[in-house]
Amino acid sequence: MAPDPPETEEMPACCRDVVTEYSKEILKFGELLFELLSEALGLRPNHLNEIGCAEGVNLLYNYYPACPQPEITLGTTQHADFGFISLLVQDRVGGLQVLHRDHWVDVVPDSEGIVVNIANLLQVMSNDRFTSVQHRAVVKSVGPRVSATAFFGVGYTTNPRVYGPIEELLSKENPPKYKETTIQDFVTQSYKQGLNGVSFLDVLKLAND
């Protein structure tokens, strides 16, 4: 949906108006979140927006039918998202789980809430000040389950900018922990890894004494 949204007629007539409006509002919300995240890192509020974190947005809508045997089925396997942040809206059926202290914890649906996931590239840029969230989706015997996710950064492959640990966050005591990368290389390599719980972050890690 950004920076080059599809033509209106390319979207299904049943949802094109609401998708277009939702995209505008979620982009505004993402820009606000990047201001808050910048401040949390001790940077100027506009820092993350100025380096393009809110320029590329993909929307993904998932539909999980009710499953007669949920105990032997998994909706989406363990993974962390690739880009900067992901904003998720899930319906009252739920199914999102996050990995916390080696245990899977249900994220209770909130009809008025948006789940904010830190993604891998923001972990790199923050030099581990922020850490990406390992999560998965489980299926239910009730349903269907519907979710909508806005991925900031993923898919914006025409951006030639190189991303790495932000210089203002580095010091002799806090050297860079990751190599620099482009969004295109980062996403391409992450897709090669697949949703297998193995992170491309391990490839970018530097060997610091």
pTM (two decimals): 0.89
- Please compute the mean of the pLDDT values over residues 47-64 and round it to a whole number: 91
Residues 137 and 76 sit within 8 Å (Cβ to Cβ): yes
pLDDT band at 64 (very low <50, low <70, confident <90, very high): confident
Q: If you average pLDDT over every residue of the chain, what do you get?
A: 88
Q: What is the pLDDT of residue 184?
A: 78
What is the SS3 assignment for 127-192? CCCCCCCCEEECCCCCCCEEEEEEEECCCCCCCCCEECCCHHHCCCCCCCCECCEEHHHHHHHHHH
Q: Is the pLDDT of residue 154 over 70?
A: no
Q: Is the pLDDT of residue 209 over 60?
A: no
Q: Is the pLDDT of residue 15 over 80?
A: yes
For residues 170 and 178, give the distance between their C-alpha atoms in angstroms, rounded to a whole number. Answer: 12
Task: Name the nearest CA neighbour of 63 among 149, 134, 126, 191.
Answer: 149
Q: Is the pLDDT of residue 157 over 60?
A: no
- Please compute the mean of the pLDDT values over residues 17-33 and round it to a whole number: 94
Q: What is the pLDDT of residues 35-53, one digit of tens each?
A: 999 999 999 999 999 998 9
Six-digit token string for 186: 């980062």
Q: What is the pLDDT of residue 208?
A: 65
Six-digit token string for 14: 């049943």
- Please compute the mean of the pLDDT values over residues 5-25 and round it to a whole number: 91
Q: Is the pLDDT of residue 104 over 90?
A: yes
